[in-house]
């Protein structure tokens, strides 16, 4: 599907996609990219019944009522970071109580997981050492991930101050913030992460294999 057709699809909604794909059996369209440049593969052939009277079963809800669920952080600019703050030294205490059992002393690796410190500059050779310091392009990823998933036996139970503090401690262990640093919604997005420019958008297909049938090697 061409990008022009995708724009039409986005404007007109799915009925345009049905008209474009019905009867073709799909599959013959070229790989397509989204308006934001993401490779999506070919569009799927599918038929959605036209609905003269659209059923509407969703119950209106307010953003305020969703506050406890609304935990995502848009990590490049930190949008969604909550009020609160935490220091490196506070984080050291939280880490000892809630993280060290799996991740080990000083986040250097424990009985369950490997190191969360170091690895900066290791991606051109082997082994690549993946840590928050070496891998995360944006510091607020730490807040988002720790709050949604950690500690593994009791996630979404730490206070925002505790999450900021543990984040500050891990950033300090990786040499990315000083020992007196305090993380909050303003300071965290400003931390410069070494892998910030370490990503490229999907540029596949990246192979050009041919269909040789005889005496191929």
Partner 1 sequence: MASNTSRRNFIRKTAALTGGAFAAAGAARAAPLPVAPSNQEPGRIIDETAYGMPSKFEAHVKRRRTDVFKNRQNLSDWSMTPLQHQPGIITPNGLIFERHHAGTPDIDPKTHRLVIHGMVKQPLEFAMDDLTRYPSVSRFHFHECSGNGLTDWLKPASTTVQQTHGLLSGVLWTGVPASTLMEEAGIDPKGKWVLFEGADSSAHARSVPMEKVLDDTIIAYAMNGEMLRPENGYPVRVVIPGWEGNVSVKWLRRMKVGDQPWHLRSETARYTDPMPDGKWRQFSMVMETKSVITAPSGGQKLKGPGFYEITGLAWSGSGKIRAVDISVDGGRNWREAKLEEPIMDKCLTRFKAAWNWDGSPGVLMSRAVDSNGYVQPTVQDLQKKRAIVGFVQHHNAIQPWSINAQGEVRNVIGQA
Question: Are 75 and 138 in contact, with CB atoms under 8 Å apart?
Answer: yes
Of 93-101, 109-117, 170-178, 179-187, the segment contacting partner 1 by CB under 8 A is 109-117
By CB under 8 A, tell whether 199 contacts partner 1: yes
| Per-residue contact flags (x/-) with partner 1 for residues 40 to 59, judged by CB under 8 A | xxxxxxx-xx-x--xxxxxx
What does the alpha-carbon distance between residue 50 and residue 217 come to, in Å, rounded to a whole number? 54
By CB under 8 A, tell whether 170 contacts partner 1: no
| Beta-bridge partner residues of 95 | none
Judged by beta carbon, residue 159 or residue 180, the one nearer partner 1 is 159
Of 24-32, 84-92, 164-172, 179-187, the segment contacting partner 1 by CB under 8 A is 24-32
Member of 23, 68, 192, 203 binding partner 1 (CB under 8 A): 203
Cα 118–chain centre separation: 21
Instruction: Provide the phi-psi class of 130: left if phi over 0, else alpha when psi is between -120 and 50, else beta.
Output: beta
By CB under 8 A, tell whether 190 contacts partner 1: no
Judged by beta carbon, residue 178 or residue 206, the one nearer partner 1 is 206
Judged by beta carbon, residue 178 or residue 197, the one nearer partner 1 is 197
Size of the site for partner 1 (CB under 8 A): 91
Residues 115-154 that bind partner 1 (CB under 8 A): 123-124, 126-128, 130, 132, 135-138, 141, 144-145, 148-149, 152
Give φ, ψ of 100 to 5 degrees.
-65, -30
By CB under 8 A, tell whether 67 contacts partner 1: no
Give the CA dihedral 44, 72, 94, 130, nearest 10 degrees.
40
Q: Tell me the closest approach of the beta carbon of residue 145 to partner 1, in angstroms.
A: 4
Q: Tell me the closest approach of the beta carbon of residue 34 to partner 1, in angstroms.
A: 4
**Closest C-alpha among 88, 57, 46 to residue 176:** 88
Which of helix, strand or coil describes residue 34? coil
By CB under 8 A, tell whether 24 contacts partner 1: no
Indicate the helix (H) or strand (E) that contains 51: none
What does the alpha-carbon distance between residue 183 and residue 190 come to, in Å, rounded to a whole number? 10
What does the alpha-carbon distance between residue 116 and residue 167 come to, in Å, rounded to a whole number? 11
Judged by beta carbon, residue 6 or residue 182, the one nearer partner 1 is 6
């Amino acid at each position: 599907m061409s990008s022009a057709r995708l724009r039409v699809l986005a404007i007109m909604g799915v009925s345009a996609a049905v008209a474009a794909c019905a009867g073709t059996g799909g599959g013959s369209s070229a790989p397509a990219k989204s308006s934001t440049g993401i490779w999506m593969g070919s569009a799927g052939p599918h038929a959605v019944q036209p609905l003269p009277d659209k059923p509407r079963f969703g119950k209106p809800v307010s953003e305020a009522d969703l506050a406890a669920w609304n935990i995502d952080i848009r990590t490049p600019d930190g949008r969604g970071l909550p009020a609160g703050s935490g220091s490196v030294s506070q984080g050291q205490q939280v880490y000892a109580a809630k993280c060290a059992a799996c991740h080990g002393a000083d986040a250097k690796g424990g009985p369950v997981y490997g190191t969360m410190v170091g690895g900066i500059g290791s991606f051109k050779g082997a082994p690549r050492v993946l840590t928050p310091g070496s891998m995360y392009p944006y510091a607020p990823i730490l807040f988002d991930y720790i709050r949604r998933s950690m500690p593994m036996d009791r996630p979404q139970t730490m206070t925002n101050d505790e999450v900021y503090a543990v984040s500050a401690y891990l950033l300090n262990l990786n040499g990315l913030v000083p020992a007196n640093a305090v993380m909050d919604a303003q300071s965290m997005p400003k931390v410069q992460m070494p892998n910030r420019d370490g990503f490229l958008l999907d540029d596949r297909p990246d192979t050009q294999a041919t269909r040789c049938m005889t005496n191929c090697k």
